[in-house]
Structure 1
Amino acid sequence: MAQQPLKTAPFEFPLEHDLTLRGEVRVSGEEGRRPVALLVHGFKGFKDWGFFPYAAEQLARSGFAVVTFNFSCNGVGHADFDELHKFGRNTYSREQADLTALLERWQAGELPLSDRMDAARTALIGHSRGGGNSLMFAASHPEAFQAVVSWNGIADANLFGDEFREQVLLEGIGYVENARTKQQMPITAAFFEDLDQNRDRFDIVKAIARLPLPVLTIQGDRDAQRLVLGQERLRQAAPHQRHLLIEGANHTFGAIHPFAGTTPHLERALELTVDFLKEYR
């Protein structure tokens, strides 16, 4: 991908209940409005994790105005998981509300570099849980987007087993370890209660089946078996959409955090994404 100068501008705006949305906009230095690509991080992810800044830069150099952001309850404020009390409050309803707030801001031209963004041409790109969130949100707001891309995205909104679910519902809270930081990250009963109350809304397989937009799912065949099988469920529900496997790729396309450089699998995922989105921008 050609190296072009980039402009990067941060944004921060308050939400209800002491929550904040923080992010950046990246766009190439050339004049003119660009189609928008909104990158959506996953569970235990954040906008500065691993390959996300690199992916944003490469997409911007490919001609997109790229928006990255932290979900307001992803547990990251100004440092690596410094808000675990908010992480414990997180639900899909909260994340969908964050996406709505962000959508309203960029459609109103309130994000930085908005004069370089063509809000009428917007794509969602989500990784892991962010892929599922992107499909669900696009299904609820199909008029706002031109395309959706899911990188190793989930097909089932419930990320946990039955035993953990029952424990959390009984005790009100449970913990999952962050393998990298060794932090015990809280999951409260609100997560499962939200799922139970919104079963149809958060059914990712149904969401992709009814989406009138072009969708691309990219799945590494060395990812967790649950996700590889999940992509097959998405394929069966929406055979008219595009579903691609990257042989040998794991959940993060071989990238790590802190970012140690790109990988052939990550470059392939970006190439497939750009080629797909250029068909609809």
Structure 2
Amino acid sequence: MSFKHNRITELFNIEYPLIQAGMIWASGWKLASAVSNAGGLGIIGAGSMYPEILKEHIQKCKKATSQPFAVNVPMLYPDIEKIMDIIIDEGVKIVFTSAGNPKTWTSHLQSHGIKVVHVVSSVKFAVKSQEAGVDAIVAEGFEAGGHNGRDETTTFTLIPMVREKIDIPLIAAGGIGNGKGMFAAMVLGADAVQVGSRFVATPEASSHQNFKDMVVKAREGDTVLTLKELAPVRLLKNKFFEDVQELYTKSPSKEDLTSLLGRARAKKGMYEGDLEEGELEIGQISGLINEIKPAAEIVKEMISEFEETKIACQQF
């Protein structure tokens, strides 16, 4: 299958319009390089890395693949200036930004020859991102794992609405984990898809095996969007989640919720494997994830299923 004239494959110089999300505690150099070597775009998730750790991951990724890869940077990161300096110094050519104003870093990064993609969860912020001059946009529906949009707009509602309002390349994210979902998103106007949760269940993901196993066991309804007063986040149900629900029965303040959340709760769950007290961020698509398999196999299967679906739809 050739995607030669696809706007995203041309923008990033990759084979397939398939992007691996830059998930905290999962997206290290092993996963990013595996996806890039398979023809997609791998992303290193800087959100859970100190600057020197990110530098190490970028250098290892450059040794592991000759293909393009990206770094995802949440703009709320406290050491963002150091992070951006490392990205520029190490010659990274693609940056995905999120959780902040795209105007802050876009022109600076582009002045160093870097393509900038901003992640949004609404039409309003998609338009603002285009006005800020980004090269492409990820529009993420609330099915996605991790931190999410407050409007709770689903991916397949969000994508066509965003497509109507912007002209630049559009990447769909949230609830996409197979070739059929990829095809559907692109029919609705996306130029590519970004996949997160499916790549958690891979040997290359840096997240803990306990977390991966729980993702595979998850079924419909096992994830819930919660903590909206702080920053909406989709979590697997566990003891910590039940503690949050119990606190909600007492009409908690933001301070109460912040106290319960504490520090490093996501690291405890996803990276250290504490399935009781940790925060376990994953998307609704986890209900369709039934096994752990190499990232390259996932890419191959998604592209194959995409092609089969396209052929099948031509028969209608």
Please give the range of the TM-score, normalised by the shorter of the 2 chains: 0.3 to 0.5
TM-score, length basis structure 1: 0.36
Bigger fraction of residues in strand: 1
Bigger fraction of residues in helix: 2
TM-score, length basis structure 2: 0.33
